[in-house]
Structure 1
Amino acid sequence: MTNIHCAFVRLAPVASDNYEAVCDLKLHQTQEIYLASNLWSLVEAAYEPGCFPRAIYQQDQLVGFVMWVQETPQRVSIWRLMVDRQFQQQGIGRAALKLALAEIRQMAGVQQIEICYVPTNPVAKDFYASLGFVETGWDEAGEEMLAVINL
């Protein structure tokens, strides 16, 4: 779904002035099984090297969270993407992921962007495929589907 307001979507670093609000963002209860909490994600970002946590804003309103990690000099993995339940179905997630992909593409040496998702998630496969991700099979743990964009 496209929304004219998506032109105003932007990413910003998670910092001392917005990390609590990022932690307060909520998914619909039925979506919580598919994604780790933002609190856990920020803990990961603090202790895992190469993490890039970003707050998603629609104009000045915090509406979501995305995080990726540079796994190797050539490969970046998107670990999280969420839009608060009250801002879903407006195209914000699509706009935010496009911005994240653009930022990742600017990283020197990156040749592949990957994302994993739970195959029972009813929207993930089509959503990621529409942005260029191609399924390659199960992740190393055999729990989630892996999809990649080769640059």
Structure 2
Amino acid sequence: MGDLRLEELSAKTIVAANGLTLRPGQEQFVTPVSYAEADAYVNPTTTWARVVLDGDDVVGFVRGNFDSEHPREEFRSCIWRINVDASSQGRGVGKFAVHALADEARARGFSTVTVIWEPGEEGPGEFFRRIGFVETGETEFGEKIGALDV
């Protein structure tokens, strides 16, 4: 990987972000990036949506939510979505995106970032644990909740 950088999700980058491919079996754990773009217009003060670029190529996407007043603690400072193109997985793109979101959380006064994932063999649980998330519970639907101190 070259020099990774973030750019706000925009009309210029959304087509490439929506075109990110996943490894076989991962599709069931990820919603399309365009959902995050739509949500950014509904919740513009809490949504933080960024693409990860390697040079001029979009290689990843991360969307966070920052809402200190949210009634559910796990949604106050959280990763809502993260996608890394199949060809870029295992090269530090996801870790870069999570650390960038953690930096943003810290700058906004949060001390923890959470993430919720559906357990499964091809799911993201191992990735989140590997970069430091600790499982703290489950949702009423059986999804795992992880937390990372920032």
Task: Tell me if 1:120 matches 2:113.
Answer: no
Deviation per CA, 1:63-97: give whole Å up to 9, x if none: 11000001325831101111112222222212222
Structure 1 residue 145: Cα displacement: 0.3
State the alpha-carbon separation in 1 of the partners of residues 127 and 14 from structure 2: 27
The equivalent residue for 1:76 is 77
The equivalent residue for 1:131 is 131
The equivalent residue for 1:103 is 104
Structure 1 residue 54: Cα displacement: 0.3
State the alpha-carbon separation in 2 of the partners of residues 123 and 31 from structure 1: 6
Task: Tell me if 1:58 matches 2:59.
Answer: no
SS in 2 for 1:44: helix
Q: Which runs of 5+ in 2 are unaligned?
A: none
Runs of 4+ in 1 over 3 A off after TM superposition: none
Identity of aligned residues (%): 26
Structure 1 residue 124: Cα displacement: 2.6
SS in 1 for 2:11: coil
Structure 1 residue 48: Cα displacement: 2.6
Structure 1 residue 123: Cα displacement: 5.7
Deviation per CA, 1:18-53: give whole Å up to 9, x if none: 122222222234111001111222212221340100
State the alpha-carbon separation in 2 of the partners of residues 40 and 16 from structure 1: 13
SS in 1 for 2:61: strand
Structure 1 residue 132: Cα displacement: 2.3
Deviation per CA, 1:117-137: give whole Å up to 9, x if none: 111144633321232211111
The TM-score with structure 2 as length reference comes to: 0.83
Instruction: Count residues in correspondence.
Output: 144
The TM-score with structure 1 as length reference comes to: 0.83
1:16-95 equivalences in 2 (<5 Å): 16-49=11-44, 50-72=46-68, 75-95=76-96
State the alpha-carbon separation in 2 of the partners of residues 123 and 30 from structure 1: 8
Q: Which runs of 5+ in 1 are unaligned?
A: none
SS in 2 for 1:97: helix
